[in-house]
């Protein structure tokens, strides 16, 4: 029996900064911080922030805990999830470098979800009041955040449509294609059609509402039929053309 892991709180990491962050030009930072820093070099300084590190599986943000900060993932992977009383969990979204834990964090100081590190992570906490002041001062930044919110809504709706009406194959393929599209947009590719993929079968099961056994069977079938392959921490899209049209429900 595996001993129960003792989770640690995220640690302040003063060695980090935005200057040499790989995510600075992508995702939330590329849209908001990067954009604003070009217009006004001092804008970054006007938003109080701190950098933290956490280990794989650590809880980064707990359901219902009030926070005065918004969080953006700098390195590593994490996921947003909801845990039911009986221990089951539903993964709501996968977070990669440059992602806010949720774009709605600005409006939602007491989130109804938790965030857990999938790998070792570094992340940045931004003062919500500072950020809100900057957003309302410059409509283009508010617009950018609003568009990020809209993308989050679209992605969640597409995932829900698959959960409600998609078969096991569709749930997994559509999830993989949506993730691949996001990773491509961030330049997070290993080679053409090949992406890093640190999720386990359990994680995939908790995203797609399937059992681990179903996930194993479906992935084996998709591999046999040259649709996608998930192995050795990599996602390989073998026949994107065949599924591209169904990638997002709507």
Least separation in angstroms between residue 126's CB and other proteins is 16
Cβ neighbours of residue 32 under 8 Å, at least 6 residues apart?
Answer: 141, 144, 145
7 binds other proteins (CB under 8 A): no
- Report if residue 11 touches other proteins, rule: CB under 8 A: no
Task: Tell whether residue 101 is a contact of other proteins (CB under 8 A).
Answer: no
Q: Is 247 in the site for other proteins (CB under 8 A)?
A: no
Least distance from other proteins to the Cβ atom of residue 88, Å? 5
104 binds other proteins, rule: CB under 8 A:
yes
Query: Which of 130, 153, 171, 165 is closest to 36 using CA atoms?
Result: 130
For residues 35 and 235, give the distance between their C-alpha atoms in angstroms, rounded to a whole number.
31
| Biggest distance spanned by C-alpha atoms of the chain | 56
Dihedral angle, C-alpha 175, 178, 179, 182, nearest 10 °: -170
Q: Closest distance between other proteins and the C-beta of residue 188, in Å?
A: 24
Residues that contact other proteins, how many (by CB under 8 A): 46
Q: How far is the CB of 165 from other proteins (least distance, A)?
A: 4
Pair of tokens at residue 159 = 């995932």
**Interface with other proteins, residue 9, by CB under 8 A:** no
Give the one residue of 1, 19, 66, 85 binding other proteins; rule: CB under 8 A. Answer: 85
Q: Which is nearer to other proteins, 204 or 237 (CB)?
A: 204
Residue 162 Cβ vs other proteins, minimum distance, rounded to whole Å = 8
Distance of CA 127 to the CA centre of its chain: 20
Q: How far is the CB of 59 from other proteins (least distance, A)?
A: 17
What is the C-alpha separation between 241 and 25, in angstroms, rounded?
29
CA 227 to chain CA centroid, Å, is 24
Within 10 angstroms of residue 196's Cβ, the number of other Cβ atoms is: 15
Residues numbered 124-163 forming contacts with other proteins, rule: CB under 8 A: 136-137, 139, 142-143, 146-147, 149-150, 152-154, 156-163
Strand, coil or helix: 172: helix
Distance separating alpha carbons of residues 131 and 141, to the nearest angstrom:
10
Q: 150 — phi, psi (to 5°)?
A: -65, -40
Question: For residues 159-218, which are near other proteins according to CB under 8 A?
Answer: 159-166, 170, 206-209
Binding footprint of other proteins on the chain (CB under 8 A): 82, 84-86, 88-90, 92, 102, 104, 106-108, 112-113, 136-137, 139, 142-143, 146-147, 149-150, 152-154, 156-166, 170, 206-209, 246, 249-250
């Amino acid at each position: 029996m595996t001993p129960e892991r003792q989770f640690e709180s995220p640690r302040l990491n003063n060695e980090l900064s935005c200057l040499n962050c790989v995510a600075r030009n992508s995702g939330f930072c590329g849209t908001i911080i990067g954009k604003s820093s070009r217009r006004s070099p001092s804008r970054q300084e006007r938003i109080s922030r701190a950098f933290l590190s956490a280990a794989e599986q650590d809880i980064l943000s707990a359901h219902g805990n009030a926070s005065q900060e918004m969080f953006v993932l700098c390195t590593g992977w994490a996921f947003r999830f909801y845990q039911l009383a009986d221990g089951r969990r539903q993964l709501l979204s996968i977070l990669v470098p440059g992602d806010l834990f949720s774009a709605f964090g600005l409006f939602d100081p007491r989130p109804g979800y938790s965030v857990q590190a999938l790998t070792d992570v570094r992340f940045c906490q931004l003062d919500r009041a500072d950020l809100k002041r900057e957003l309302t001062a410059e409509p283009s930044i508010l617009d950018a955040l609003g568009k990020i919110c809209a993308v989050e809504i679209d992605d969640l709706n597409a995932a829900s449509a698959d959960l409600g009406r998609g078969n096991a194959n569709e749930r997994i393929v559509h999830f993989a294609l949506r993730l691949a599209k996001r990773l491509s947009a961030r330049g997070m590719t290993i080679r053409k059609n090949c992406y890093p993929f640190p999720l386990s079968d359990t994680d995939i099961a908790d995203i797609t509402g399937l059992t681990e056994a179903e996930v194993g069977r479906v992935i084996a079938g998709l591999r046999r039929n040259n649709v996608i392959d998930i192995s050795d921490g990599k996602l390989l899209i073998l026949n994107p053309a065949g599924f591209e049209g169904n990638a997002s429900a709507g």
